[in-house]
């Protein structure tokens, strides 16, 4: 039992898994925050594309 309590091999694996979990949570949080902004940017771009295409076609004629 004493040897089992002194064995620290499992603690490194637990520390790494906690670190990876923390990094994953940070990534999910950043995506959540930036996701709404990116949606707005792509929405505004998609709304403007038809008018840009028509303008370019008229300038070529």
Cα distances (angstroms) measured from residue 27 to each of 18, 21, 37, 47 = 14, 10, 16, 29
pLDDT at 60: 60
Alpha-carbon distance of 52 to 60, in angstroms, equals 13
How sure is the predictor about 22, in pLDDT bands with cuts at 50, 70 and 90?
Answer: very high
Span 38-52, pLDDT tens digits? 888 888 888 887 776
Q: What percent of the chain has pLDDT over 70?
A: 70
């Amino acid at each position: 039992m004493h040897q089992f309590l002194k064995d620290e091999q499992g603690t490194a694996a637990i520390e790494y898994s906690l670190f990876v979990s923390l990094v994953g949570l940070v990534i999910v949080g950043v995506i959540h925050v930036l996701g709404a902004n990116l949606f707005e940017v792509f929405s505004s771009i998609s709304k403007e594309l038809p008018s840009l295409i028509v303008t370019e076609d008229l300038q070529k004629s």
